[in-house]
Amino acid sequence: MHLTFLGTSAGRPTRTRNVTSIALSLPEPQCAFWLFDAGEGTQHRMLGTKLKLNKLERIFITHMHGDHINGLPGLLSSRSYFEGAGPLAIYGPTGLSSYLNGIFELTGVHLNYELNVIEISAGEVVADDRYIVEAAELQHRMPCFGYRITERPQFGQLNLRRLAELNVPPGPWYGRLKRGEDVALQDGRTIRASDVVGDMQPGRVVTILGDTRPCGNAVLLAKQADLLVHEATFAGGLEEKAASYGHSTFAQAAETARDAGAKRMIVTHFSSRYDDEQVAELANGVKEIFAGIEPAVEMIDFHVSKPSRTSEG
């Protein structure tokens, strides 16, 4: 599992940074990816990555500001040209459906795949056999959501040495045991999954927030997250300006991560007044608040490590 930042600039692009979009690449067996926001130029940025639109399963929109959605219509249209593009679900605030329908009607777009647009409210928005996605409202100048992605607990590793000792031949039995199923072999023996599979391991938690002032829901969504993505539009000393625009400073983002007990935080959505060197300095300057802060770098994969805690923890 890893994140790729396709845009990290606030409001408008710069010479070195595009506007907001984040891809979350999922591990096997899905090998798909989800997209969080799609600012103008998102699909063009994807051309410099291994991401393919036929592998895109879900899109989550935080809010309806243009720097977060203006790349969406073109991306959806281009997806029709990718062979094997299956159904696609888009989640976001009220107004998302009418926005897309209006553009498609006026521009004559016809998609050759099923598109489901789900206008969400706070609470659980996705639950499948691998992931749960929850949303909560943040504090911005317009309705805006943050998302908490929880990977369900995973079965432990197969004990291949023990399987060899038991003369269990490789094949479909391994897959069933890995899924926690006991299997009956042709020689009459029953192999119990608990005897050859390691303990259940907790899944990862990734929190991706939209634009926001410091607020309680940001802390709740990021509680004990393995990775938190938080906006950091302004430097310290500009708290009043940040509040007026519904944004956070680097220090305020660090305080949210600290208060939530997050393991690691990547900040993004930087004002165009700061170049990359200044962004790095601003992140380093608040490490006394939260040591695990690092600035997003576009087109670089940020891997999300599996948690070391046990399932009981």
Verify whether residue 67 is a known catalytic residue.
yes
Q: Per the structure block, which two tokens stand in for 46?
A: 């994807």
Round to whole Å and give the CA distance between 10 and 263: 25
67 appears as a binding residue in the annotation: yes
199 appears as a binding residue in the annotation: no
303 appears as a binding residue in the annotation: no
Round to whole Å and give the CA distance between 252 and 246: 12
Pair 224, 239: CB distance under 8 Å: no
DSSP 11-48: SS--SS--BSEEEEE--TTT--EEEE---TTHHHHHTT
Which one-letter amino acid corresponds to residue 52? K
Round to whole Å and give the CA distance between 246 and 216: 14
140 appears as a binding residue in the annotation: yes
CA–CA–CA angle 153, 159, 160 (5° rounding): 130
37 appears as a binding residue in the annotation: no
44 appears as a binding residue in the annotation: no
Among 67, 128, 226, 275, the active-site one is: 67
Total count of residues recorded for the chain = 313
The DSSP output letter for 199 is P
247 appears as a binding residue in the annotation: no
- Kindly list the catalytic residues: 67
| Binding-site annotation: residue ranges for Zn(2+) | 63, 65, 67-68, 140, 211, 269
| Binding-site annotation: residue ranges | 63, 65, 67-68, 140, 211, 269
